[in-house]
Amino acid sequence: MKYLNDFLVYLKNELNYSNYTIKNYELDIYDYINFCNENKIDIYDIKYDEVKKYLINIHNKKYKSSSVSRKISSLRTFYGYLYDNNLINNNIFKFISSPKKEKKLPKYITNDDINIIFDIPDISTVVGIRNRLIIELLYGTGIRVSELCNIKLNDIDFKNKSIRILGKGKKERNVFYGTKCNDILNLYLNNSRNILLKNKSNDYLIVGTNSNGKMFSTRSVELIINDIIKKASLNKKITPHVFRHTFATHLLNEGCDILVVKELLGHSSIDTTGIYTHISNERLRHVYLNSHPRAKK
């Protein structure tokens, strides 16, 4: 499509979206373009009845409501881009509501399992030190995997143990790390990073043997996490994002204010952070039922 490549560049450079998100947008829009072409619909002058026809089409394909919401969001952003650049007369997807989200509690790692996971990387090796730092940062700060890979050395305030993070929509925030993370960070910088780089130059904190000045890939982090979980014999699906869920859940369980957690996670709305309170409430319920004399079975 004529303006699609320009839109994808806009997502990358202006909105600072991750490569994964951009790829999903691209696939969603290509799917939509194919539908319009097959049904002889003018993409630049689409009518409401034609949009309705498209929505019925994706509904009939039995997509999850979250996938339908993402497709609508992709098209809403794309048409917003076209409208803002005077390429269409109106953004019809602005008036299309997303389906009600399925309420799913985010997965998180228990305290026992988190301790097992941290024991897996062998910090007597340069790679083990780096891998331990990756999970320390994911769990200790709650950052997204794309944000982790994007950390540069000059983003770190070593004195105050804080890191400047550039999140979604180029929204900047500071996150903090504790003593254990600080110890492994110093070990990594003094004993591991230069060996991995083979004395080559690189501005990014997390590096590999083939970094060559480039950012460490999110896929590489995923593979490292998969390997750690496999060695831990946990038999659970734990992705880098689960560490973010765990960070938020454990803070709330320990009594941290939800507004503080919201800021640390970089959420724009308290509603997004609110899902973690359901987990905390479940824990409170469990503790009550097992502790109160008149509640025990």
Q: Which domains does the chain have, with CATH numbers?
A: 4-95 (1.10.150.130), 111-289 (1.10.443.10)
Residues belonging to the active site: 144, 168, 241, 244, 267, 276
Neighbouring-strand partners of residue 274: none
Q: Give the Cα-Cα-Cα angle 30, 35, 37 (nearest 5 degrees).
A: 95
The reply to whether the predicted model has a pTM over 0.75 is: no
Who wins on pLDDT, 286 or 108?
108
For residue 205, which amino acid is it?
Answer: L
**Residue 176 three-state SS:** strand
Dig out the tokens for 54 from the structure: 């498209």
Instruction: Say which residue the tokens 């490569």 belong to.
Output: 19
- Between CA 197 and CA 191 the distance in angstroms is 12
The separation between CA 142 and the C-alpha centre of its own chain, rounded to angstroms, equals 10
Residue range 5-33: average pLDDT? 90
Q: Give the Cα-Cα-Cα angle 22, 168, 173 (nearest 5 degrees).
A: 155
pLDDT of residue 294: 67
Neighbouring-strand partners of residue 164: 174
Least confident of 87-91, 100-104, 105-109, 146-150: 100-104
**Residues 59-89 pLDDT 10s:** 888 888 888 888 999 999 999 999 999 988 8
Residue range 266-276: average pLDDT? 81
pLDDT of residue 147: 95
The separation between CA 260 and the C-alpha centre of its own chain, rounded to angstroms, equals 19
